[in-house]
Amino acid sequence: MKRSEIQVDYVLLITLFCLFIFSLIAVYSGSGQYETHDPYYFVKRQVIWYIIGTAVLVGVALFDFELLERWTLPLYSIGIGLLILVHFFGTFKNGATRWINLGFFDLQPSEFMKVFLIIYLSVVLKRFANQALSFKYSISITIKVLLITIVPFYLILVQPDLGSALVIAAIALSLILVSGIAFKVVGILVSSFIALIGFLVYLHNNFYDIFIKIIKPHQLERIYGWLSPDEYALSYGYQLKQAVLGIGSGQMYGSGFNQGRQVQSGNIPEAHTDFIFSVIGEEFGFIGASILITLYFILLYRITIIGLSANNRLGYYICAGVIGLIAFQVFQNISMTIGLMPVTGIALPLLSYGGSALITNMIALGLVFSVNLRTKKYMFKSEVL
């Protein structure tokens, strides 16, 4: 690619840099409740992960994303293989087996599986792109997508990791919706989901022994804590209650950097990871939280523009999958800290402390930049996706 042809979305780059600054500030303040010999311990490690993630992003961006088509099945198989390894040789931590201990790093295969699934489903849907999507054909495509998705979804769900399993489902759903399938199929999917929720409620009320075989006790406890946080304020609803108190006390301008009473007292567990939005809400108030949400909006907007400008369907679907990946995680994480959704172990993308999740998101964004770098601009755009 000639230097004159290189096009980089600088708005997207600046947005990423702003999120990086937000991350360092929030990780430092949120980790202050932990007694360590080095107050910058988590911040230093987050900087290292960001440096590694940036290098990975650049490497993926320079790689022609269209060449991934031949690596689709091997990547998907590697992801499934790693998830199976977790089941037999994974490290048990925080009530779940989600990691493979590599000595210097705990690898979380479910994170990388998200990107592998985006690539695989994008390639599959690309092959159907130029065909008429009748109702019958839409059913065929949907079933194929669901069959590809159900394997990693199940392997992640039994770890147990409901949060990551829901992200897998969100990626599949986002790609199904942009594939152009018949509206009736979308209606069937929505109806099926509502029916499933109703069936689970019925089992809970009438056949509890069967219900707890599907929904694990700790997952049910989180639902109780979400529905009745005041009643379970000292048990299941403790995290939510403390997070809401912290965000509420921030009011308009916040209590100030490193001055959040709820955060610094340690009342909000995992404030530098899953509940990092509470740090922003309490210490920087409504203004700080609004700026952060605006940055995410700009991030998703630029990915949308890149996807719509892509010269082929593969790039379009990859961007759609990345939007599904990031948007659902942002929505779920922020929603669980303010009581709109049950608490799950979903990190806030590009902000929460952690290696696997950060690198996964950087790989996904690297794919977006790869699409952007290889999108040709035409004075009269007549080329069909």
Q: Is residue 144 part of a domain?
A: yes
pLDDT of residue 50: 95
Average pLDDT, the chain: 88
Q: Is residue 384 part of a domain?
A: no
Q: Which of 183-197, 210-224, 357-371 has the highest mean pLDDT?
A: 357-371
Q: Is residue 127 part of a domain?
A: yes
Which tens digit of pLDDT belongs to each residue from 29-41?
A: 988 777 667 788 8
Q: Domain range spanning residue 278?
A: 3-373
Q: Is residue 245 part of a domain?
A: yes
Q: Quick check: 378 pLDDT over 70?
A: no
Which tens digit of pLDDT belongs to each residue from 296-343?
A: 999 999 999 999 998 889 999 999 999 999 999 999 999 999 999 988
Q: Is residue 382 part of a domain?
A: no
Residues 6 or more apart whose CB falls under 8 angstroms from that of 234 comprise none
Q: Is residue 341 part of a domain?
A: yes
- Rounded-to-integer distance, Cα 96 and Cα 104, Å: 20
Count of domains in the chain? 1
Q: Is residue 242 part of a domain?
A: yes
- For 228, the 3-state DSSP assignment is coil
User: Given pLDDT bands bounded at 50, 70 and 90, which one contains residue 3?
Assistant: very low
Q: Is residue 312 part of a domain?
A: yes
- Rounded-to-integer distance, Cα 271 and Cα 278, Å: 7
Which tens digit of pLDDT belongs to each residue from 253-312?
A: 999 998 888 988 888 888 889 999 999 999 999 999 999 999 999 999 999 999 999 888
Residues shown for the chain: 385
pLDDT of residue 132: 59
User: Given pLDDT bands bounded at 50, 70 and 90, which one contains residue 383?
Assistant: very low
User: Given pLDDT bands bounded at 50, 70 and 90, which one contains residue 45?
Assistant: very high
- Please give the average per-residue pLDDT across 102-110, as a whole number: 80
- Rounded-to-integer distance, Cα 179 and Cα 185, Å: 12
